[in-house]
A and B are shown apart, each in its own frame.
Chain A
């Protein structure tokens, strides 16, 4: 299983940052506003056109804030090795991504890992639109 996940991670890394989804990344998220969120998973919501990570993040004062993190579509995630039960309610996770431009507690997830760092999934929706036929970075 661990070997499979390692292979998976490698495959997913190759896909990273090129996984454009159904909307312009730059219209919604700010690549210059990176966020790192460590918290507890409320739900991995498995819906098209984007799966979502809903999580609770506690700050230094103990205040809990709810964050919604956008992933790629379930179809893209499945082809990258994710399954709808890859994360479970209560899992402590670390999400790295970009914050929404509108200032809400919304982020585009680039990487998701468990607190022990063993599993890293990298399948967000952060690609930039480009010209068809050209690599989209």
Chain B
């Protein structure tokens, strides 16, 4: 009888346990509306020094249920890339091949800024002297140095995610990244190429509590005739959840990717 009682209690509690996982663990200390939901239109939080606090989990709008918000006009208007002949040829070949040779299909990192365009959230974390950027997909990370250093003159070890420094310009956090290696194949989902002199500028603006815009400028004179601006990337905060582990543990796609 006692066992039945214990079992009954356990069975009744089981669904509670099932729901109480970190997929939906409530974030503490965030503004909420009367119904308990995160108030995404509350003002952007500020750090003790008065700068906007960018921390949180962010997901690109086009991947969320609300869809992509219309882009603002004005200086955020994108300028299409004008490729040098070699780059145009590479780009056209990639499009004709359905981008089958993207190393991402072999679980290689996506590089900057492509990593920020994927259907997985990233988390921004404030730390002394740096802003840490954790990407869920492939568990990639970036450190954006805010300790006043400049970019190195030379990159002795070009890397997949490059070398980043960040500075405030008003309420915009401006991240400059260089030293991205040439194994990074495409800088966006469309398949645009790059060279070793690529410099990426990301302007992060937390519009309000629940929304952030990132405007990306591409400067790569070996690949493009002039610097260009990508369509604005817009993000919505994911409250009450955490990043999940992502290890590319079993990938059978490449053997089936025929392209055309």
Interface pair B119/A19, CB less than 8 Å apart = yes
- Please name all residues of chain A whose beta carbon is closer than 8 Å to the beta carbon of B67 when the two chains form the complex: 135
Min CB distance A133 to B, Å, is 3
A114 touches B (CB below 8 Å): no
Which A100-121 residues have C-beta < 8 A from chain B? Answer: 100-102, 104, 106
Closest to A75 in B: B244
Is A64 an interface residue, CB under 8 A from the partner? no
Cβ-neighbour of B98 out of A22, A26, A106, A133 (below 8 A): A26
Of the 9-residue stretches B6-14, B27-35, B172-180, B249-257, which lies at the interface with chain A? B249-257
Q: Are B258 and A47 in contact (CB under 8 A)?
A: no
Decide if B65 touches A22 in the complex (CB within 8 Å). Answer: no
Query: Cα distance A79–B67 when bound, in Å?
Result: 16
Give A101 to B99 CA distance when docked, in angstroms. 14
In the complex, the answer to whether A133 meets B231 with C-beta atoms within 8 Å is yes
Question: Does A61 make an interface contact (CB < 8 A)?
Answer: no
Interface residue? B41 (CB, 8 A): no
Contacts of A131 in B (CB 8 A): 188-190, 230-231
Interface membership of B246, Cβ < 8 A: yes
Residues of A within 8 Å of B113, CB to CB, are 132
Contact B256 A24 (CB under 8 A): no
> Looking at A15, A18, A75, which has the most chain B CB atoms within 10 Å of its CB?
A75
Total contacting residues, chain A, CB less than 8 A: 38
A132-B256 contact, Cβ under 8 Å, with A20-B119, A49-B107: no
Interface of B: prevailing SS: loop
Q: Contacts A19-B119, A48-B247, A101-B258; is A27 near B99 (CB within 8 Å)?
A: yes
Question: Which parts of B148-187 form the interface with A (CB within 8 Å)?
Answer: none
- Give the CA-CA distance A127 to B232 in the complex, in Å: 20
Instruction: Tell me whether A24 and B244 are in contact in the complex, defined as CB-CB below 8 angstroms, given that A129-B99, A133-B117, A136-B189 are known contacts.
Output: no
Interchain Cβ contacts under 8 Å between A and B, 15 examples: A18-B62, A22-B104, A22-B107, A22-B137, A24-B257, A49-B246, A79-B23, A79-B241, A129-B190, A131-B189, A132-B116, A132-B230, A133-B68, A133-B71, A133-B232
| B interface list, Cβ under 8 A from A | 23, 62-63, 65, 67-68, 71, 78, 97-100, 102, 104-105, 107, 113-114, 116-120, 136-137, 188-191, 216, 230-234, 241, 244, 246-251, 253-254, 256-259
Closest 7 CB pairs of A and B: A133-B231, A27-B100, A23-B105, A132-B117, A26-B98, A27-B98, A129-B189
Q: Beyond the given A23-B104, A75-B120, A129-B99, could you list 12 further A-B residue pairs with CB under 8 A, ordered by the A residue number? A: A18-B119, A19-B63, A21-B119, A27-B97, A73-B246, A101-B258, A104-B256, A131-B188, A132-B116, A132-B233, A133-B230, A135-B62
